[in-house]
Amino acid sequence: MTALLLLPLLLPCALPGLARRALDRLAPAVALWVITCSAVVLAGCSLAALGAFVLNGLLKLPLFAAFGELVHPLRTASDVFVVPAAATSVGALAVCGWTLVRSVLHQTRAFRAARSQAGRGPAAGDLCVVDSPRPDAYALPGRPHRIVVTTAMLRSLDGPEREVLFAHERAHNAGGHHYFLAAAELAAHCHPALRSVRETIRLAVERAADEAAAGAVGDRRLTARAIARAALAGQAAGGAAGSDRPGFAAAATSGPVPRRVQALLAAPRVPRRTGRTVAALLLACTAVSCVASVAGMAEFHHRVEVAQGEERP
């Protein structure tokens, strides 16, 4: 059981490298789905494994053994391993819970502030213009979805470039990219190895919106120029453009912009066998983690039933 439950804690360490390769070799929209689903499942399996270690340690204590109606000793690995593993798991779960609660509270406050600010500015359809000296533009989810752009950003771009910017942000709202960003944030708080995957998912979100905007305006070079000019305008303002919006509100100026511009100037990516291989490896890691966590929990449940006298070993 112990070896099985260690797998869900170790397999997320392979995800950052595989996620970067998947984004390089798959279409951005496909890579976004594969990476995000893998991160969420691996995060859930790691939490389940930590929970199993905690229960394993608790049932070694007489009070919890009596509460669990154990009439025989629970057969597990040596207490030299079980007790430290349970204590470490308790600490890890406490840190995950604390940081997640802090993140949710912060994101909720930022979202409310952004919706309030967007409501005060003039609107034309889904477009809200905010009077601000800081160039910024982002897709704000909610009912209804909004595209928030500052007056400074509008002054930084010409007409065709503004259309690219609007198409990019509309692609974020149409694709529900805020769900992917929220899932990435959740997974990042469940396992340390998944923190870097959060940035890969953010880049995949922007690449998917870049491709959608290029398809909408029919000009990849114009799209690349608009993204580059919007990012330069934000950097010229001191890099404070994204400080007052929630992290799940995707923006055209996010991520490594030179890499995005280079991808736009290149030909659209054609699916290759290497891309399918990387996707298969990601799915295989996810499947192994699921099987290991389920099998480990099932084995733990069987041992508890044996200790309760309900089954024979």
- Residues contacting residue 223 through CB under 8 Å, at least 6 positions apart: 164, 168, 210, 213, 214, 217, 264
Higher-pLDDT residue of 27, 244: 27
Mutual angle of helices 273-307 and 2-10, in 10-degree steps: 150
The predicted pLDDT at position 237 comes to 59
The CA-atom distances, in angstroms, between 298 and each of 52, 180, 207, 240 are 10, 31, 41, 50
pLDDT tens figures, 54-94: 888 777 777 766 666 676 666 766 666 777 888 888 999 99
Q: In whole numbers, what is the pLDDT of the chain averaged over residues?
A: 85
- Cβ(300)–Cβ(2) under 8 Å? no
Give yes or no for residue 169 having a pLDDT over 90: yes
Tokens describing residue 105: 């509270």
The predicted pLDDT at position 192 comes to 92
The predicted pLDDT at position 220 comes to 92
Higher-pLDDT residue of 281, 68: 281
Is the pTM for the entire model greater than 0.95? no
Determine the 3-state secondary structure of 233 from DSSP. Answer: helix
pLDDT category at 6 given cuts 50, 70, 90 is confident
- Cβ(152)–Cβ(165) under 8 Å? no
**Dist CA 132 CA 47 (whole Å):** 43
pLDDT category at 227 given cuts 50, 70, 90 is very high
